Amino acid sequence: MALRAALRGRLSQLSSCTGHGRVCVPPTLLTQQRNSSTSPKIKVDLDQSTGVAVMRMQSPPVNSLSLDFLTELCISLEKLEMDKGCRGLIITSSQPKVFSAGLDIMEMYGKSPERCGEFWKAVQEMWLKLYSSNMVTIAAINGSSPAGGCLVSLTCDYRIMADNPRFSIGLNETQLGIVAPFWFKDTLANTVGHRHTEMALELGLLYNPAEALKIGMVDQLVPEDQVLSTATETMTKWLTIPEHARQITKSMMRKPTIDKLTSNRDADIHNFVSFITKDSIQKSLRMYLEMLKKRRG
């Protein structure tokens, strides 16, 4: 509980200073985090010789995006962003067969409006940090990546997925009776276009790797055991581009989408809390959780 309280406090510090899609951070936070390269749910290894960090999500069993997980992720990202020696970030999973199963449903079921709001603010923070990052970001998708897991990969500059037909990826929120917010929609539309986004979101589609490649949800498929090595090779190519030119171009492409959320954060939190706490939505979540229990049983 002490860890969770400390992490929430740090997230509040981060959230209180935003602008232009960027998040600034108090010097005290950087000092606190400077000597810590690992955390219970996130492990970061930075290669000083190449300037490339590998971030491994390691929260068993499926890297669910809980409040604690998201807070640790945000702190890790901020530390890397402020490290001038870090130019690229590869995001992958330490869990077998799954990249991330998405938002933790237990953060949305049976919780107070205040807690739901705090959780949603952390989801926003994660997206803002990743989508506006100055680093080259590559998703090494070594397993299934539904819902919020798909969102994490979509924020990256490039996506490499394991070519295993049993893996799936997509924003399948409607299957749970949940509506993907506008910035989820915008991120997907910026990647695969309007029509594919419309079909994907309305039907809550999950795509196998070949289907995801076909519509542009991922950029490359490789054998499972080559996902990370391919991401490393690809990163080398991206880092040959003059940094200022790449960063300005990335900002130019993404700024309208980022500004749309930064200017509507409070309203977006209010809309989420109002929606997720409805009796009908809570009932849908309860039914889904009961279905999961039966599967495990």
105: tokens are 């449903």
57: tokens are 């999500």
Can you give the pLDDT at residue 293? 83
Can you give the pLDDT at residue 288? 85
Which CATH number characterizes residue 50's domain? 3.90.226.10
Can you give the pLDDT at residue 27? 32
Does residue 271 sit within a domain?
yes
Q: What is the distance between the alpha carbons of residues 210 and 230, in angstroms, rounded to a whole number?
A: 17
Token pair 């910026």 is found at 190
Does residue 204 sit within a domain?
yes
For residue 254, give the nearest of 21, 17, 19, 14 by alpha carbon: 21
Q: With H, G, I as helix, E, B as strand and everything else as coil, classify residue 141.
A: strand
Does residue 9 sit within a domain?
no
Does residue 102 sit within a domain?
yes
Does residue 51 sit within a domain?
yes
**Domain span at 90:** 26-296
Does residue 15 sit within a domain?
no
* pTM across the whole model: 0.85
Does residue 21 sit within a domain?
no
Over residues 7-61, the pLDDT tens digits come to: 555 545 444 443 333 333 333 333 333 334 444 799 999 999 999 999 999 999 9
Can you give the pLDDT at residue 4? 52
296: tokens are 């495990």
Q: Which residues of the chain have pLDDT under 70?
A: 1-39, 297
Label the pairing between strands 143-146 and 97-98.
parallel
**Cis geometry, peptide bond prior to residue 61 (ω within 30 degrees of 0):** yes
Can you give the pLDDT at residue 228? 98
The set of catalytic residues is 103, 148, 172-173
Residue 10: other Cβ atoms inside 10 A: 21
Can you give the pLDDT at residue 108? 93
239: tokens are 């880092």
Does residue 84 sit within a domain?
yes
DSSP state for residue 135 in the 8-state scheme: S
Number of domains in the chain: 1
